[in-house]
Amino acid sequence: MSSKLFLTTFSILLVSASLSLDYINILSHLFNTKKYLSNENHVTIPIEGAVGPESFAFDPHHGGPYTGVSDGRIIKWLENERRWIDFAVTSQHRDGCEGSHEHEQREHICGRPLGLRFDQTTGALYIADAYMGLLVVGPEGGLATKVADQAQGTPFAFTNGLDIDQRNGIVYFSDSSSRYRRRDYISVIVSGDNTGRLMKYDPQSKETTVLLSNLTFPNGVSLSKDGDFILVSETTNCRILRLWLHHSSNAGKVEIFTELPGFPDNIRRNPKGEFWVGIHGRRGRFLKWVISHHWIGNALTKLPFDMTRLYSYFARWGGIGLAMRLSEDGEVLEVLEDKSINGWKCVSEVEERDRDLWIGSIRMPFVAYKKRSSNRN
């Protein structure tokens, strides 16, 4: 093996391992944690022919959850029948999309639905598809319609998180990068890419407005209970930002809501106004060093290796599942962890419904469902 190839292989193995396996002492960062729970009392609901239930949504009739998976479908869970059914797709090109093969290489054709949210007044489901942009589909499902794929002349390259203000129908969403696509998301992290944006879409005027730009991997998006601020996770920086909205006395102010021990994915508000954050993985010391030296990360992205695919292997067989519940002030209230070999990993989202938790992942071939006790604080 040549020295160049050895160095290439060694560097990528280190990055991949840092992203997926370095969970030692992760909980030491979570001081003031009020409750720590293991993987007890959860079940897994398999998904056939696909992986990666990224996000969850429930319709106005309490049906669901609905979730988007790796082959471009949005599927709906029928509780009474204990099975998934097809609900919608984000691309009309479906040849070769379905099946048990790896779907990443056809995501740009088949679509990859990520963030989901229903407008509870109209019954329309809004979809942030990583490749197709912001889309919407009616209550009966079918082929989704594109409503936005660019803002201020810059096309979306990696549409990701999404939330809706149910009072006026405004859709808030993120575009994680203008440089990299979803299947290269590890490159977004190691390169320190800061071309991401937070935007809003007005269904009445059909206008898309950029709220924040120059973000490093903006990902999950969630409005506060009163609608006075919006949160957006900056995955690379392992933190969540808070943007105060126009009807707040702090309108326009951006501040750090909380710092996290790992890479945050989606953010979901529960009925109390608290926030669940899925943690994709921990940022170890080596990876932190790589990110702080952008020239190293940029060099890694040019090597003849698929870092995202290699990382996926490590992530599936190593590491743990991690999620956190935060107060409206960013205080850590609760930590969920799963260390089991076959448990949930690379947590993308936690949706709290009637106190029970639906746990998503961009990698696993199932949804984790956690029944909650009635005495939670």
Mean pLDDT confidence for 55-65? 98
For 211, the token pair is: 């709220």
- How is residue 10 annotated by DSSP? H
Structure token pair of residue 377:
């604080």
Residue whose entry in the numeric block shows the structure tokens 């099946």: 99
Model pLDDT, residue 128:
99
Amino acid at 12: I
Q: Each residue of 268-288: pLDDT tens digit?
A: 999 999 999 999 887 766 666
User: What is the pLDDT at residue 14?
Assistant: 52
Q: Under 8 Å CB-to-CB from 176, ≥6 apart: which residues?
A: 157, 158, 159, 160, 182, 185, 188, 196, 217, 218, 219, 235
Q: Alpha-carbon distance 124 to 162, whole Å? A: 14
Q: Residue 58: which of 50, 49, 67 has the closest Cα?
A: 67
DSSP 215-256: ESSEEEEEE-TTSSEEEEEETTTTEEEEEE-TTSTTTT-EEE
* pLDDT at residue 192, as a whole number: 87
* 372 vs 182, more confident: 182
Q: How confident is the model at residue 125 (pLDDT cuts 50, 70, 90)?
A: very high
Q: What is the pLDDT at residue 275?
A: 99
- Choose the weakest-confidence range: 58-62, 283-287, 309-313: 309-313
3-state helix, strand, coil in the chain (%, to 5): 15, 40, 45
Q: 3-state DSSP call for residue 186?
A: helix
β-pairing verdict for 42-46 and 366-370: antiparallel
- Strand 83-89 versus strand 142-143 pairing type: parallel
Is 241's pLDDT higher than 90? yes
Peptide bond into 203 cis (omega under 30): no
CA-derived radius of gyration, the chain: 19
312 pLDDT tier (thresholds 50, 70, 90): low
Give residue-wise pLDDT tens across range 43-59: 999 999 999 999 999 99
Instruction: Please report, to the nearest 10 degrees, the dihedral formed by the alpha carbons of residues 181, 309, 282, 285 taken in order.
Output: -100
Query: What's residue 21's pLDDT?
Result: 45
Give the C-alpha separation, 216 to 238, whole Å.
10
Q: What's the CA gap between 70 and 103, in Å, rounded? A: 6
More confident residue, 340 or 222: 222
pLDDT value, residue 319: 64
CATH of the structural domain 3-370, one choice from 1.10.760.10, 3.40.50.720, 3.40.50.1860, 2.120.10.30: 2.120.10.30
Q: Tell me the C-alpha distance between 353 and 270, whole Å.
A: 8
Mean pLDDT within 312-331: 79
Which has more confidence, 223 or 249? Answer: 223
What is the pTM for the complete model shown?
Answer: 0.87
User: What ranges do the domains of the chain cover?
Assistant: 3-370
Contact (Cβ atoms closer than 8 angstroms) between residue 200 and residue 206: no
Q: What is the pLDDT of residues 13-49, one digit of tens each?
A: 455 555 544 443 444 445 444 455 555 578 999 999 9
pLDDT beyond 70 at 181 = yes
